[in-house]
Amino acid sequence: MSTPQPTADPRAVEAEYRVIERLGPQFKAALARLGREYARNASPDDVRSFVEGAELTANRAATLLCAHIEVAKAALSGESGSRVPLRSRVRDLLLFCLSPEFAELRSAIGVKIEIRLPGATGR
């Protein structure tokens, strides 16, 4: 089995290597064990799923901050190079914007909008 060659910036790889080198022997052994176990069970879909998840998470964060689904949709339409189809990305954002997590996050960052109707009782 050949050793995989990193495709990242060599300086970043070297910096991570130095961090690992500073770990104690028990941590290095545990990390090696985890690496072997992962490699034994890994599939090509693992990396693809990770990359797609990271992209959808970035889209959600941007939508949370811009607070306008049409603006987010327009920005997504102008992107190129995504591995996730535009329709799937927009669907994910729509579901996210309707989720309780979206409302909780907006409240947590102080941009929650609450509309109180006359005569309505509530919290």
Contact 52, 84 (CB under 8 A): yes
Residuewise pLDDT in 10s, the chain (123 residues): 556 676 778 898 899 889 988 988 999 899 999 989 988 888 878 888 888 999 999 999 989 988 888 888 888 888 877 888 999 999 999 999 999 999 999 999 888 877 888 886 655
What integer pLDDT is reported at residue 2 of this predicted model?
Answer: 59
What integer pLDDT is reported at residue 1 of this predicted model?
Answer: 52
What integer pLDDT is reported at residue 90 of this predicted model?
Answer: 92
**pTM, two decimal places:** 0.60
CA distances from residue 73 to 46, 54, 84, 89, 109 in whole angstroms, order as listed: 27, 17, 14, 9, 22
Closest CA to 55 of 66, 44, 47, 67: 47
